[in-house]
Structure 1
Amino acid sequence: MKAPTPSLRQRAPELAAWLDEHAEAIDAHQDFAAQILPQLARAHLFRIGVPASLGGDDGSTVEAIEAIASVAAHSLASAFVFWGQRTFIEYLLHSPNEALRKRWLPSLLSGELAGATGLSNAMKYLSSLEPLQMNATPLNGDGAARRWTLNGSLPWITNLRREGFLAAAAFDHSDGAPPSIFALPHDTPGLVRSDDLDLIALRSSNTAALRLDGAVLDSAWQITDDARGFLVRVRPAFLGLQCGMSIGLARRALAAIDASSAAARAAVEDEAPELASELAVLSKRLFDGVEHGTFLAAPAALFEVRIALAALVDAAVRLEVQTTGGRGYLRGQSGCARRTREAAFVPIVTPSIVQLKNQLAQHRQTKAA
């Protein structure tokens, strides 16, 4: 029988205490934007699911999802940063560019460098939801000496840490070559990071826009020259790790309900256990699909889990509002208001629930035809 997954308080008690102390400020202000990544790294969280031969702690992607869930139970903004970092690490694990992985993976695992997953646009491109927003024009050279001029913009990327980052982005090629994916170093001439976006929550997540204007990179920075095939391979981890945020937030809301007064618990004695049971079922479906690779051939099943988890988070947080009552409307009395703001983000993180529902509708139409 599989041992229960340790909570963050069991795995990393100092980190759990730090998140609980600062969760409200992390959500509402940008003051802690520089501190989240080092705090997560000290707990060795980025090494989970990474082979020991590459500097990790071994384990599986499912264990990394559980780790993100454990952080999300304390602070969704911090889990969002965790997701961006760990997903970029996943890209390097799958990249055929061994030199790129060898050069940058150690500083990503240690939290010295931020990894930003700018492939949300690319994931929508993979599902035929929108074209790629970045373009690469080849310059002279071939093989290892190949260079490209890069142009375009991405309006929303998380974990663009001002202290230093690598951002992944997919590019169309003006010469007709297949789309590819580059790692964009923060100090590239022609790369411009905007000010942090004026978010209503998750404000310490280093979320900003990127613009490339005549930036030049060579093949040393190319994660893959086959964006479509690469995206298909990493999509289960991309979305699976993302679902960890929903799982953790739902668990915390249900725990808050369980800790409410006896009268409040009695009022929701049918609804709360039903949500907890549904969460367990959805989590198992997610973990099984990621562990056994079934989402590679059946991405629609993964989309369905992501959609169902978003609906469950919304229901769990609404139920927490009911059981917390007026206390939840007082600042500093509970995390209920913050979790309500956090839950509002779950449906819109890319790919959004609307985009996934449209994709599922297209899938059903194609299957029926």
Structure 2
Amino acid sequence: MPAINHDVQLDTLLQQELKPLVRAIDEKAYYPRDFLLQLGRNGFLSSEDKTVAEAAVQEVKVVQQVSSYCMTTGFNLWCHMAALTYVRHTENEELKERFLPALENGEILGATGLSNPMKFYADLEKLHLKAERVNGGYKLNGALPAVSNLGEGHWFGAVASENGRRIMVFVPCSDENLQLKEKVSYLGLNGSATFACRFDGVFIPDSQVLAEDADTFVQKIRPYFVTYQVPVGLGVIEAAIRSVEKCVNKQSGANQYLPVQAEDLQVRFDAVQEQFRDLLETGVSWKGILSVRKDTVYLTMDAVHAAMMHAGGSAYLQTSADGRRLREAYFFMNLTPTVKHLEKMFQ
């Protein structure tokens, strides 16, 4: 594959293909499926000749730039990156050979069904799915209340309990025993293709088992599960800072009297960004990435609130980009691991 000038190509793709869709994504629950596939087709998600860590350094930049235009799309991309993380780490070589190229090259899209399992491992919820061992695989029953980035031809990870242990599997949306009910009544993120999923004897062959020991596998993948969330918030912060800067001369410069200014946010942003960059370069640790994730979510909330104040009345319009980022940021605050979940883990 030829060398790619990622920054130039991605900015062009964002300007031409994503920017015109942002209002439809936010206001009409439009799901940007084709744009997400284009990222893979243009080589932005390829791990060829890279370690998992090296791939992450490039890919977090992609997630951040996408999120600076539209956090909903950035979140969808994170869902896909989570699925990629599962496949990159699995010891099921048959599964990896089948799905890794397709997920990286824009042939199929993936998602994560691990909100409930992550809460299960933090002693916050019971596991929602149960598995029964049958000839050649497992049958799954139960329900997941919300899984995003789903659609025709999509696949997602899930964890189920089986005789006192947990397994992790890769599930096709096309299974006839999987019922999907779309959820579009959210304050934001309605273009994220989020569905309630009911499993009624969904058969998962052994070739689609990510891990027979999900407890160990989740510990291995969870640092990167969270790593790809951080740039979702960083992209929103960047956009909010730019918005504050644009409002500097509003109403004869009255914004200068507000308690939070663009430079205040920029100093905090640079500090988080540097901490995140250092972590990527030295090796992503669980506690380290949780700390960066927590700092990112609080800064995201401060940044979008500041942008609302600086924009003033124009931010209160339904078509306002500042208002959209505010609503999206409240979702980021509640994305697993949520703020409550993070605070609990630091006690």
> Residues 287-322 of structure 1: CA distance to partner in whole angstroms, max 9, x if unpaired?
322432251xxx333323222211111111111112
> Residues 196-249 of structure 1: CA distance to partner in whole angstroms, max 9, x if unpaired?
342221111111111111122221010111212111111111111011110000
Aligned to 2:157: 168
Aligned to 2:302: 315
Distance change (3 Å), C-alpha of 1:253 and 1:7: farther
Q: Does 1:252 align with 2:239?
A: yes
CA contact (8 A) 1:166 1:183 kept: yes
2:209 partner amino acid = Q
Compute the TM-score of the two structures, normalised by the length of structure 1. Answer: 0.85
Q: Does 1:129 align with 2:131?
A: no
Equivalenced residues, count: 340
Aligned to 1:228: 215
CA contact (8 A) 1:236 1:290 kept: no
> Residues 18-77 of structure 1: CA distance to partner in whole angstroms, max 9, x if unpaired?
322221211222234443423433443332xx23489x9x94312211210110000011
| Aligned mate of 1:352, from 338, 342, 346 | 338
Q: Measure the CA separation in 1 of the matches of 2:13 and 2:276.
A: 29
Q: Does 1:16 align with 2:11?
A: no
> Residues 99-120 of structure 1: CA distance to partner in whole angstroms, max 9, x if unpaired?
1111122222233322011112
CA contact (8 A) 2:233 2:297 kept: yes
Aligned to 1:365: none
Structure 2: runs of 5 or more not aligned: none
2:119 partner amino acid = K
Q: How does 1:188-227 map to 2 (within 5 A)?
A: 188-227=175-214
1:335 partner amino acid = A
CA contact (8 A) 2:37 2:108 kept: no
Q: State the secondary structure of the residue aligned to 1:223.
A: strand
Q: Measure the CA separation in 2 of the matches of 1:291 and 1:180.
A: 31
CA contact (8 A) 1:258 1:265 kept: no
Distance change (3 Å), C-alpha of 1:344 and 1:33: same
2:10 partner amino acid = R
Compute the TM-score of the two structures, normalised by the length of structure 2. Answer: 0.90
Q: Does 1:70 align with 2:65?
A: yes
CA contact (8 A) 1:321 1:336 kept: yes
Q: Measure the CA separation in 1 of the matches of 2:18 and 2:277.
A: 26
> Residues 268-302 of structure 1: CA distance to partner in whole angstroms, max 9, x if unpaired?
5863222211111112222322432251xxx3333
Aligned to 1:51: 48
Structure 1 range deviating more: 260-269 or 203-212:
260-269
Q: State the secondary structure of the residue aligned to 2:76.
A: helix
Q: Measure the CA separation in 1 of the matches of 2:79 and 2:293.
A: 17
Q: State the secondary structure of the residue aligned to 2:336.
A: coil
Q: Does 1:271 align with 2:261?
A: yes
Q: State the secondary structure of the residue aligned to 1:70.
A: helix
> Residues 143-170 of structure 1: CA distance to partner in whole angstroms, max 9, x if unpaired?
xxx3212111111111112x21111001
1:97 partner amino acid = N
| Aligned mate of 2:137, from 147, 150, 167 | 147
Aligned to 1:367: none
> Residues 153-193 of structure 1: CA distance to partner in whole angstroms, max 9, x if unpaired?
111111112x211110011112x3x3110001122231111
Structure 1: runs of 5 or more not aligned: 1-5, 141-145, 362-369
Distance change (3 Å), C-alpha of 1:60 and 1:326: same
2:340 partner amino acid = V
Identity percentage of aligned residues: 27
CA contact (8 A) 2:224 2:284 kept: no
Distance change (3 Å), C-alpha of 1:29 and 1:35: farther
Aligned to 1:3: none
Q: Measure the CA separation in 2 of the matches of 1:231 and 1:25.
A: 35
Distance change (3 Å), C-alpha of 1:215 and 1:269: closer
| Aligned mate of 1:106, from 101, 104, 107 | 101
Q: Measure the CA separation in 2 of the matches of 1:88 and 1:330.
A: 36
CA contact (8 A) 2:131 2:161 kept: yes
CA contact (8 A) 1:12 1:43 kept: no
Q: State the secondary structure of the residue aligned to 2:192.
A: coil
Give the C-alpha shift of residue 135 in structure 1: 1.0
| Aligned mate of 2:89, from 85, 94, 98 | 94
Q: Measure the CA separation in 2 of the matches of 1:112 and 1:210.
A: 23
Distance change (3 Å), C-alpha of 1:132 and 1:313: same
Aligned to 1:243: 230
2:48 partner amino acid = P
1:358 partner amino acid = K
Q: CA RMSD in A?
A: 2.4
Aligned to 2:76: 81
Distance change (3 Å), C-alpha of 1:53 and 1:66: closer
